[in-house]
Amino acid sequence: MNFKAITMNDIARALDLSASTVSKALSNSYEISEKTKKLVLDYAEANNYKPNLIAQSLKQGHSNSIGIVVANIDNHFFSQVINGIESIAYQEGYNVIFTQTHESYELEVKNVNHLAHRSVDGLLISLSTETNNIDHLQKLQRQGLPIVFFDRVSDDMETHKVIVDNFKGAYEATTHLIKAGYKNIAHITAANTSVTRERLSGYEQALTDNGINVNQQYIKYCQHAGKDTAEIKGILDELLTNAVSPDALFTAFDRITTVTLGLLHQLKIKIPQHIALLGFTNTVLADVLNPSLSTVYQPGFEMGQEATKMLISLIKTKRLVTEFETIVLPTQLFLRNSTLRK
């Protein structure tokens, strides 16, 4: 059975009224008698009439909706960001529409255009790992759509941005591994994003500051940010068969970290006796994993809140905004058994 929503024209034909009369009755216009209003409203309710929100938003100039673009909503970090977004958006009277890119540039463009056609009032976006070209976003910004970046951002567009201190988080994590006695520290990261560059820089600087040469053979890139388990398995095989295999792994993304932990268990590699593991991840299970997982934690909830406040500010402003702010939130290093030598 195909469900088809009825329109105002359907109501007008059924009740032998003009579409204009039906429209005014549905909007409780003083021009329409109470008897006619009741007739129209009763029919609309009985036949599950829903107003065309897109048409209304075009007429009113706003939809009270915010579009959200993230990589994956099952990612612990992004789910926390979404909770932060909702906590502010609903409080301010905005609905939210979520889309996922699954790290695909093509899907990102499609989702962004879909949200724009839904007449959202603004857009919050964390770029996919495949995205190097932001023409689709620049075009919408030129047309007047407020856009705020969070987490993975672009330097090619001036707007508000909310990020974490990726450099410092990576620097502190790598320094901890060095101080704990690990010398051959490999870094597994994603494809080229703002986050990748900042965390790689922090990792390299920590090695340099502690007199350890950066070994390019220890730096590995995942094109799918951990989505492809076989890709990470191949990377681990390369690292573990290196002439000098690493004694520690520093992983830069949530999914890469948790997938790596699972693969090390499958390979019967003891953590941290054979190899230590420390990574960026917001998993709530870090304390109960075996071994408990040392992590760099990002304030995802707060990031979502700050980004939403910035976007709503852009939506509500009546003047041209030419000065933009980048908020940098601190990370937290949690040390657990996966890096602590007995």
pLDDT in tens, the chain (342 residues): 344 567 888 888 988 888 888 888 888 888 888 989 889 888 888 887 766 554 554 444 567 899 999 999 888 899 999 999 999 999 999 999 999 999 999 999 999 999 988 889 999 999 999 999 999 999 999 988 999 999 999 999 999 999 999 999 999 999 999 999 999 999 999 988 899 999 999 999 999 999 999 999 999 999 877 788 999 999 999 999 988 999 999 999 999 999 999 999 999 999 999 999 999 999 989 999 989 999 999 999 999 999 999 999 999 987 888 899 999 999 999 999 999 976
284-335 per-position pLDDT tens digit: 899 999 899 999 999 999 999 999 999 999 999 878 888 999 999 999 999 9
Return the H-helix or E-strand segment holding 254: helix 254-266
Domain 63-163+300-329 identical in fold to domain 166-298: yes
CB-based burial label for 335 (10 Å; 0-12, 13-18, 19+): middle
Q: Which amino acid is at 154?
A: S
Task: Enter the CATH code of domain 63-163+300-329.
Answer: 3.40.50.2300
Q: Where are the domains of the chain?
A: 8-51, 63-163+300-329, 166-298
Please give the Cα distance from 279 to 281 (Å, whole number).
6
Please give the Cα distance from 97 to 66 (Å, whole number).
6
Contact (CB, 8 A) for 279 and 257? yes
Contact (CB, 8 A) for 176 and 252? no
Q: Which residues contact 158 (CB under 8 A, 6 or more apart)?
A: 324
Domain 166-298 belongs to what topology?
Answer: Rossmann fold (3.40.50)
